[in-house]
Amino acid sequence: MLKDLFFRLRSVFRRETVESEMEEELRFHSERQLEKYRNTGMSREEAQRRVRMDFGGLEQVKEECRDARGVSLLETLAQDLRYGWRTLLKSPGFAAAALFTLALGIGANTAIFSVVYGVLLQPLPFRDAARLVLLHETTPKVGDVSVSYPNFQDWRAQSHSFSEMAAVSNVAFNMTGTSQPENIGGLAVSPNFLSMAGVRPVIGRGFTPDEEKAGTAPVLLLSYALWQSHFGGDRRVIGQTIRLDSRTVTIVGVLPRDFRWVETCDVIEPMGVWATNNGTVAERGDRGDLTVVGRLAAGVRMEQARAEMDGIAARLARAYPQANDQCGVKLQPLRETFSGDARPAMAVLLAAAIFVLLVACANVANLFLMRGAVRAKEMALRIAIGASGGRIVRQILTESFLVALLGGLAGLGLAMAGIPAIARLIPADTLAGASIGMNGAVLLFSASLVVLSVLMFGLAPALHAARGNVHADLKEGGKTTSGGGRNRWRGLLATSEIALALILLVGAGLMMKSLYRLLAVDSGFRPERVLKMEMSLRTAQYDKDPVVIGFWQQALDRVRALPGVESAAVGTAIPLTDDHSRTDITMEGTALSKPSDYPHPDTHIVSPGYEKTLGIRLLRGRGFTDADRENAPRVALVNAIVAQRLFPGADPVGKRFSFGRNRAPQWLTIVGVLADTKMYGLANPARLEVYVPFRQMAASEMVLLVKSGIEPAALVSAIRAVVVSIDKEQPIFGIATMQEVVNASVSTRRLTLILLALFSGLALVLASIGIYGVISYSVAQRAREIGIRMALGAQRGDVLRLVLAQGGKISVAGIAIGSAASAGLTWLMAKLLYSVSAVDPATFAAVAFVLAVIAMVASYIPARRALRVDPLVALRNE
């Protein structure tokens, strides 16, 4: 092996020596042969002729010797690269067109892949992350729900499929003592979470097993980002304290820089500290915001773990029918829970980018074929003087590779410029802390695209050149007769470009129609000039309900008095954000036996003016008033769905229900019915919802909604001042206009649409260039035929029809194939569509029409050139 390499290398690096030795060896042979023939009495000329005949082509023998020495791979590569580089420089127009086209194709793919990699593929920063599984509970009524802590403890005790399990709960705090009060997010975890995930604090310690139980001293780990932004990365931070919800907590460590979680994570506290502050932990029926992460034991497969957990859940449901009725367990690879719902959009975008690359490759293949026609003579000459077919294929492939490589580099540049712009468009919850950018995996992907492109656009032209007809191509007039096969190829490529462009356009069209329909949906509320800001009353003083209610009332009174404010309200929920608390209710006069039979509506706590501020229509009865206070009769509003489902055919106003399941009912009287609002996203149907007045059920976490006569953002600082005047340590967060909330709720669809539109536009341009190229080339080739036709009396219209028919054939075939392929492919994006069928006939028809028109224009321009053919000139050229 090594010796072989050595031999090859000598052939390459001592090229001159080896070449001259070969020359000398062959000369020696001919001379001896010549002598031999002379000795038999032949004339000198006759002997020389015989020697030449014996030898066949001298150059060919040499070439075969070089091949035999294994020179080919390395030496010819260098030679071909030099040669290819020179030929590219000689035809800068061709080179620029090919490079630019490929740069666009590879650039688009690289940019999209960097996003796909960052969001979906990049391994999570945990040890052996592929074996980490996220578990949560499910109920038939709601779907996925959080896990109750006692259930988690039973899972951990009873399961054998997992080597370890840890509870992870989302938590939030008001952090004070820094420059401005802030609301931060974090996690409360079982102490073994960090070691199970292989997360080692950069400084300080992790958690100890004792820190699992309530009553443990308050400690936490800082995220790297918070450490940097609030403590300047000071290593002496260990042992310092911060104020969270007016409690003093000691910093014991700092998380690694790359640590991330599905939700924002500024701090991590041990489960024991969380349990100390959350009395409801011990209740099996209480499902807060807790999920479970487990590490699959060695050799255990996901399905086995799933089967075991199903069994455990069924046992727990039987043992605790009140809390666990019909509760199941759902297991999911942890990786999927990070931006898992972005998967369909990402898949569609990656597929679209690959289609763009295919179109680009078809275009470049066309360029190569066109140039192949020009170079047919050069190739024929090379074959005639001894180059083998393989050698020609290699040389053209090397040139293709050079073009692809340069195009790939340019594409990389384009991608680097485009990635930040795309990354900015990705919603933060989709990103889940992932960083989008260039890295080894992305580079590897781009490199393989370069190789793939070479195969896609280089192989056909190369094989074609090698098959070239030496005799025809060497003849003076050969150029005009040898293009048959090439033209077929070119027609085929243009057809596939049209087909691909159609697929992309259909995708973009469907997406556009979906987004249009989605934004036209009756959301049930009016977002115009409404500002939202969130507050969470978390400090000790708000332990008592009257204080909480007093804060909201005071804030409302003062905000309503601000100039420019039309109305203001607070509520626990706002439309389009799926963040709700749900409880079973009991309807007066109904007796239900099974816990799972009780209605399970979302409960929104709102102030008077809520429906007015958000522009939600009141369908019956009245809204809340200031009279609906603590000691007044308890009242509620319901939405239209509740009225339809729970009071079919009856007027719900005046009917009564209570929260919970029948234990000591505290009846609430329904006083009004509100129109359904899109609380969970524009595409999601409304659910059962009940509203209760904020003075009759205190909520410490609320959204303040302000409708103004002026630009709402102008009010932010005035409202802030109001809040500070009531409690100077109260942070405000989540400030946005409702219009921004609406936009954010469709941001993934919007991003998908923008990129799809961009890609299909690119494909359209490339495809029209493709068809233009084919037609104009064929017009040039058929100049003589056209000349004869015109000389024989063909009219302009006849000639135009002749040329346009060719373009028409290509576009009709392309559109037919593309439509069929689209119909087969668009179901892939069904998840992204809204109230549009994946084979929406209107979209298909519109796209086909647009494409047909553009294809016609692209063929008409070169067709007009055919009309200018002068029969005399065309015929004389022959």
Partner 1 sequence: MKERIELPQGTLDLLILRTLALEPQHGWGISERVQQMSSDVLRIQQGSLYPALHRLERRGWIKAHWGTSDNNRRAKYYELTKAGRLQLATERASWQKLTAAVAQVLDPA
Binding site for partner 1 (CB under 8 A): 3-4, 7-8, 21-22, 24-26, 28-29, 31-33, 35, 54-57, 60-61, 64-65, 67-70
- Which of residues 40 and 631 has its CB atom nearest to partner 1 in the complex? 40
Candidates 381, 385, 467; CA nearest to 60 is: 385
Q: What is the largest CA-CA distance in the chain?
A: 136
Alpha-helix residue ranges (DSSP H) falling in 686-737 = 716-726
- Which of residues 386 and 871 has its CB atom nearest to partner 1 in the complex? 386
Minimum Å gap between C-beta 4 and partner 1 is 7
Q: Say how far apart CA 508 and CA 744 lie, in whole Å.
A: 20
- Which of residues 7 and 849 has its CB atom nearest to partner 1 in the complex? 7
Minimum Å gap between C-beta 69 and partner 1 is 5
- Which of residues 390 and 485 has its CB atom nearest to partner 1 in the complex? 390
- For residue 230, the one-letter residue type is H
The Cβ of residue 851 has, within 10 Å, a number of other Cβ atoms equal to 24
Q: Which residues contact 456 (CB under 8 A, 6 or more apart)?
A: 358, 361, 362, 365
| Residues 31 and 44 sit within 8 Å (Cβ to Cβ) | no
Q: Is 844 helix (H, G, I), strand (E, B) or coil?
A: helix
The H or E element spanning position 834 is none
Q: Say how far apart CA 515 and CA 683 lie, in whole Å.
A: 10
Minimum Å gap between C-beta 394 and partner 1 is 18
- Which of residues 61 and 474 has its CB atom nearest to partner 1 in the complex? 61
Minimum Å gap between C-beta 28 and partner 1 is 5
**N-term to C-term CA, the chain:** 57
- Which of residues 3 and 424 has its CB atom nearest to partner 1 in the complex? 3
Q: To which residue do tokens 């020389």 refer? A: 48
The Cβ of residue 733 has, within 10 Å, a number of other Cβ atoms equal to 15
Alpha-helix residue ranges (DSSP H) falling in 375-477 = 376-384, 389-425, 428-431, 440-453, 459-467, 470-474
Candidates 859, 758, 763, 846; CA nearest to 811 is: 859
Minimum Å gap between C-beta 33 and partner 1 is 7
Q: Give the count of alpha carbons within 13 A of 82, CB side only.
A: 5
The H or E element spanning position 871 is helix 871-876
- Which of residues 70 and 734 has its CB atom nearest to partner 1 in the complex? 70
Q: Which two tokens stand for residue 85?
A: 């580089």
Eight-state DSSP code of residue 445: H
Which residues are registered as beta bridge partners of 331? 135
- Which of residues 32 and 544 has its CB atom nearest to partner 1 in the complex? 32
| Residues 703 and 574 sit within 8 Å (Cβ to Cβ) | yes
Minimum Å gap between C-beta 42 and partner 1 is 15
Minimum Å gap between C-beta 66 and partner 1 is 8
- Which of residues 14 and 544 has its CB atom nearest to partner 1 in the complex? 14
- Which of residues 54 and 210 has its CB atom nearest to partner 1 in the complex? 54
Minimum Å gap between C-beta 43 and partner 1 is 20
- Which of residues 22 and 828 has its CB atom nearest to partner 1 in the complex? 22
Minimum Å gap between C-beta 73 and partner 1 is 12
Minimum Å gap between C-beta 389 and partner 1 is 16
Q: What is the 3-state secondary structure (H, E, C) of 296-324?
A: ECCCCCHHHHHHHHHHHHHHHHHHCHHHH
Eight-state DSSP code of residue 325: T
To 5 degrees, how large is the angle CA 735–CA 737–CA 738? 120
- Which of residues 62 and 661 has its CB atom nearest to partner 1 in the complex? 62
Question: Computed from CA positions of residues 207, 208, 209, 211, in that sequence, does the dihedral angle turn out positive or negative?
Answer: negative
Q: Which residues contact 674 (CB under 8 A, 6 or more apart)?
A: 611, 616, 617, 618, 619, 623, 637, 638, 639, 640, 691
- Which of residues 62 and 831 has its CB atom nearest to partner 1 in the complex? 62
Minimum Å gap between C-beta 32 and partner 1 is 4
Q: Which two tokens stand for residue 489?
A: 């190829």
- Which of residues 24 and 258 has its CB atom nearest to partner 1 in the complex? 24
- Which of residues 29 and 600 has its CB atom nearest to partner 1 in the complex? 29
Burial 278-288 (b: 16+ CB within 10 A, else e): beebeebebbb
Minimum Å gap between C-beta 45 and partner 1 is 20
Minimum Å gap between C-beta 65 and partner 1 is 5
Minimum Å gap between C-beta 75 and partner 1 is 14
The Cβ of residue 82 has, within 10 Å, a number of other Cβ atoms equal to 11
Minimum Å gap between C-beta 10 and partner 1 is 10
Q: Say how far apart CA 170 and CA 289 lie, in whole Å.
A: 6
Q: Say how far apart CA 466 and CA 456 lie, in whole Å.
A: 17
Minimum Å gap between C-beta 473 and partner 1 is 24
Q: Say how far apart CA 208 and CA 191 lie, in whole Å.
A: 6
Minimum Å gap between C-beta 16 and partner 1 is 16
- Which of residues 68 and 873 has its CB atom nearest to partner 1 in the complex? 68
- Which of residues 4 and 878 has its CB atom nearest to partner 1 in the complex? 4
- Which of residues 65 and 675 has its CB atom nearest to partner 1 in the complex? 65
To 5 degrees, how large is the angle CA 513–CA 519–CA 520? 85
Task: Give burial (CB, 10 Å; 0-12/13-18/19+) of 508.
Answer: buried
Q: Say how far apart CA 14 and CA 24 lie, in whole Å.
A: 16
To 5 degrees, how large is the angle CA 233–CA 235–CA 241? 90
Minimum Å gap between C-beta 61 and partner 1 is 5
Burial 208-241 (b: 16+ CB within 10 A, else e): eeebbeeebebbbbbbbbbbeebbeeeeebbeee
